[in-house]
Chain A
Amino acid sequence: MFTSLKRIIKSGWKSFFRDRGLAAATVFILVLAISLATSLFLFRGVSQFIISLIEQKADISVYFKQEVFVPEEEILKIKDELAKIPEVKEIEYISHEEAVKKFLERYPEERSPHITRGVKETEGVLNLASLNIKAAEAAQYAAIAKFLETAPFKNLIDVDYYPRKPLIERIFSLTSTLNRAFLLFSIILAAAAILITFNTIRLAIYNSGEEIKIQRLVGASNWFIRGPFLVQGVISGVIAGLICLLIFSLMSRGLSLKIETFFPGLNIFQFFVSNFWTIVLIQFATGIFLGVVSSFLATRRYLKA
């Protein structure tokens, strides 16, 4: 058993290096397939980033009525109360001071002196504190809004849900379309990669059809014949995986800055580094899986009795 395994590995290894042209073609196709799988993973990271950026625009804000003074402790209590609602994904408290600061950052004094003056004049008169609520899905905003309308503190707050409702729904419809399109795109590309790889390896093994017949006539068992082809599939997969790892390391490093100019905050190299082991796993698993499964299926037709 161990001797046979050793012979199978040795034979696969020798065949791989003897038939360099064929090996190079197989590795090349596997590099394409692995690159596709890795691109899909990276693209998913990018699309999730974009989707989360878009989703961040969807929220409802709870303001506090100006007629009644609501102290900060009371606001924080309301925040805790709201955090208990299952539909609430995230809740952020923006104090009056923070709101003023943000406003002034947006409209600096030198550019908008009237606005700045106006805001400063409201000091001690208006309460600009608010609670920003985010939900996981568009439909959940209605439930949150309904809760706020019937909450015990309903007389203290103003909610901006209804004017923002169409925008929120559009944002979520856009992100769900993006997600679906990505999934469909991934399935089509993955299927194409599998078919191309399988057919290339099948054609490569087609040349060995006569050799397989001879091996059978000499009395070799099916596994003794198939084994070296599977070993060649593994070697091709590993080499293709290594090549892809190198290509994607260099590319993500080189393109990171350029991508960041289009999508501020999206550092593709950082994403690559933080997901390094997942990417290594995807690349080697894809390469070895495609190499081995294609070899297995391609040899099957010649090994039927």
Chain B
Amino acid sequence: MRLKLKYNMIKFENVTKIYPRNTVALEDVSFEIREKEFVSIVGKSGAGKTTLLKLLLVEEKPTRGRIFFKGKDITKIKSGKLAGFRREIGAVFQDYKLLPSKTTYENIAYALEVIGASEEEISRDVPKVLEIVGLTERANNFPPELSGGERQRAAIARALIHRPEVILADEPTGNLDPYHTLDIIRLLLKIQEMGTTVILATHNREIINSLGKRVITLEKGRVVRDEERGRFIL
């Protein structure tokens, strides 16, 4: 039996991001993330966690340095190829970013529609994912009619429905109570076990300490720790 080697899926190479008025969000950040890894990015508010994820999603461009995704420098990606690149990533945001004019079902189906999935695939996969995240009963509700936890689960369902290779989760539990927080973290772990790389940005100490996974700690835009079985130390 041949052992399949895990390769570097994401690589940050001396990345610096400076916003106007000389606000340094990230400074000389370098690290690598292998495929199927579960990595937590921790740090206080303003440490650069969200900027890091924004750079990975090409919402922002770095001031200096390079970022590689599957060996390709995404800082040089052309605008015409941006949509295609983003389809390879599933993103979960603290403020959910669900489409308010679409139902839960339509929000999740939208991620499949943009990749050109057939109607059969959509009607087969969406109910399955709704069941995984426990939102079958809420399929026809619009986002404003859902609770915070339900919205976040809908956002996760949308992020994973098209089976992306990476899921970025920016403070996905920031607006949730402890019960729902645990729910979401279990879901992310399950996704990683199924073979997806998960990058979780959070400042929730309990979550990090209970995970026992790799932790990259940011402080004032710099990587101050990168541990395989890390803990939340600030």
Complex interface bits, A207-234 against B, C-beta within 8 A gives 1, otherwise 0:
0000100111111111010000000000
B83 interface neighbour in A4, A211, A214, A221, Cβ under 8 Å: A221
Q: How far is the CB of A231 from chain B (nearest CB, A)?
A: 14
Give the Cβ gap from B182 to chain A, nearest Cβ, in Å: 26
A7 contacts partner chain B, Cβ-Cβ < 8 Å: yes
Partner of B118, one of A3, A18, A19, A218: A3
Residues on B with C-beta less than 8 A from A19 are 101
| Given A15-B101, A214-B99, A305-B82 contact (CB < 8 Å) | yes
Contacts of B116 in A (CB 8 A): 3-4
How distant is the Cα of A219 from the Cα of B89 in the complex, in angstroms? Answer: 9
Q: Does B38 sit at the interface, judged by CB under 8 A?
A: no
B114 is contacted by which of A18, A211, A219, A305 (Cβ under 8 Å)? A219
In the bound complex, residues from chain B placing their C-beta under 8 Å from that of A224 are 83, 113-114
B115 touches A219 (CB 8 A): yes
A interface: dominant SS: helix
Give A118 Cβ to nearest chain B Cβ, in Å. Answer: 86
Against A, the Cβ 8 Å flags (1 = close, 0 = not) of B109-124 are 0110111101100000
User: Contact: B59 with A218, CB < 8 Å?
Assistant: no
Q: Would you give the shortest CB distance from A260 to chain B, in whole angstroms? A: 51
Interface readout for A1-40 with B: 1 if CB under 8 Å, 0 if not?
A: 0011001000000010011000000000000000000000
Q: Which residues of B contact A4 (CB under 8 A)?
A: 116
For the complex formed, measure the closest distance between the CB of A17 and the CB atoms of chain B, giving whole angstroms.
11
Q: Say yes or no: A218 contacts B101, CB within 8 Å.
A: no
- Neighbouring B residues of A217 by C-beta, 8 Å: 57, 59, 86, 91, 97
Q: A217-B59, A218-B86, A219-B87 are in contact. Are A305 and B113 (CB under 8 A)?
A: no
Indicate if the CB atoms of A211 and B101 lie closer than 8 Å: yes
Q: Mark B167-193, 1 if CB is under 8 A from A, else 0.
A: 000000000000000000000000000
Interface centre among B59, B79, B113, B158 (most CB of A within 10 A): B113
Number of contacts between A and B (CB, 8 Å)?
51
User: Is the CB of B84 closer than 8 A to any CB of chain A?
Assistant: yes
A19–B91 Cα distance when bound, in Å, is 27
How far, in whole Å, are A219 and B101 apart by their CA atoms in the complex? 18
The contact size tier of chain A is: 10 to 19
Give the CA-CA distance A222 to B118 in the complex, in Å.
20
Q: Is B100 an interface residue (CB 8 A)?
A: yes
Task: Find out whether the CB atom of B99 lies under 8 angstroms from the CB atom of A211.
Answer: yes
Within 8 Å CB of B59, what residues of A? 217
* A3-B98 Cα distance, complex, nearest whole Å: 23
Interchain nearest-CB distance for B31 vs A (Å):
23
Contact B114 A220 (CB under 8 A): yes
Tell me the complex Cα distance, A224–B100, Å. Answer: 17
In the bound complex, CA of A18 to CA of B100 (Å): 11
Contacts of B89 in A (CB 8 A): 219
Contact residues in A for B101 (Cβ distance below 8 Å): 15, 18-19, 211
Report B88 CB to chain A, min CB distance, Å: 8
CA distance A93 to B60 in the complex (A): 83
Does A215 lie within 8 Å of B82, measured CB to CB? no
Q: Which residues of A contact B86 (CB under 8 A)?
A: 216-219
CB distance from B126 to the nearest CB of A (A): 14
In Å, the complex CA distance between A220 and B82 comes to 9
CA distance A218 to B110 in the complex (A): 8
The docked-state distance in angstroms from the alpha carbon of A222 to that of B80 is 9
B97 neighbours in A (Cβ, 8 Å): 214, 217
With A217-B91, A218-B114 in contact, is A305–B99 under 8 Å at CB? no
* B158: A residues at CB distance < 8 A: 218
Q: Give the shortest distance, in Å, between B164 (CB) and chain A (any CB).
A: 9
User: Is B114's CB under 8 angstroms from A221's CB?
Assistant: yes
CB-CB under 8 A from B83, the residues of chain A are: 216, 219-222, 224
B residues less than 8 Å from A15 (CB atoms)? 101
Hey, which chain A residues are within 8 Å of B79, CB to CB? 305
CB distance from A171 to the nearest CB of B (A): 61
Whole-angstrom CA separation of A305 from B82 in the bound complex: 9
In the complex, besides A19-B101, A217-B59, A220-B83, 15 extra interface pairs with C-beta distance below 8 angstroms are A4-B116, A15-B101, A215-B110, A217-B57, A217-B86, A217-B91, A217-B97, A218-B111, A219-B84, A219-B89, A220-B114, A221-B114, A222-B83, A224-B83, A224-B114
- Give 18 A-B contacts (CB < 8 Å), ordered by A residue: A4-B116, A211-B100, A214-B98, A215-B114, A216-B82, A216-B86, A217-B57, A217-B59, A218-B86, A219-B83, A219-B89, A219-B111, A219-B115, A221-B114, A222-B83, A224-B113, A224-B114, A305-B82
Q: Which 8 A-B pairs have the closest CB atoms?
A: A305-B79, A219-B87, A219-B86, A220-B114, A221-B83, A214-B97, A219-B83, A219-B114
